[in-house]
Amino acid sequence: MLASLANLSASHAHVIASSGGFLIEPGIGLMIWTLLVFGATMFLLSKLAFPRISEALGRRQAAIEDSIDTAERTRAEADEILSEYRERLKEAREQSDEIVQRARQAAEVHDREAKERGQETLAEAAKRAERDIEAATERALQDIRKEIAELTIMATEKVTRKTLTDEDQRRLVEEALSELDFSGISSGAQQN
């Protein structure tokens, strides 16, 4: 029956096509066959192709969702690593600032100690120099006293034209020395 219907439609389509009227007059048989073929094709596609296409689209959707989830997790991990890096960088800067501050303080302490040691050394050197000056002044004064004593004895011997005894020499020297003022010489040496 389908075959005879198909032959009838084909012959009718040929008659219409040869007359050129099929463009103007629609063929009902052709429309029915087109609808039947379309329905059968849709039925076969819905049973065979659409489930596979739907399954493939579902797998693709799941893969895309997994990729999105993985990307979000990766971004969250990257944000966490970035914040951890920033925190470590901040700690490193704080530690470096602390190290620099400690180094400055140590340098200041060292500088202060060096100045104090320098001042102590200068003070000790000044005291030593003062002691040396006092000792040299004392030696010079003793030398001057000896010279004065000898000059006094020589002058006395020349004036009196006689040799003095040791006791007379000591008495004359002590008198001459007591008359001389050596305090100006020793204080002047100490001021220098």
Alpha-carbon span 176 to 170, nearest angstrom: 10
Q: How far is CA 153 from CA 126, 143, 149, 171, 175, in A?
A: 40, 15, 6, 10, 12
144 vs 59, more confident: 59
134 vs 163, more confident: 134
Closest CA to 88 of 132, 34, 80, 35: 80
Quickly state the pLDDT bin for 24 (edges 50, 70, 90): low
158 vs 135, more confident: 135
Alpha-carbon span 158 to 185, nearest angstrom: 29
Q: What is the pLDDT of residues 159-173, one digit of tens each?
A: 775 666 777 777 777
Alpha-carbon span 82 to 13, nearest angstrom: 75
Question: What is the domain partition of the chain in residue ranges?
Answer: 27-191
Q: Are 27 and 16 in contact (CB under 8 A)?
A: yes
pTM higher than 0.75 for the full model? no
Average pLDDT, the chain: 81
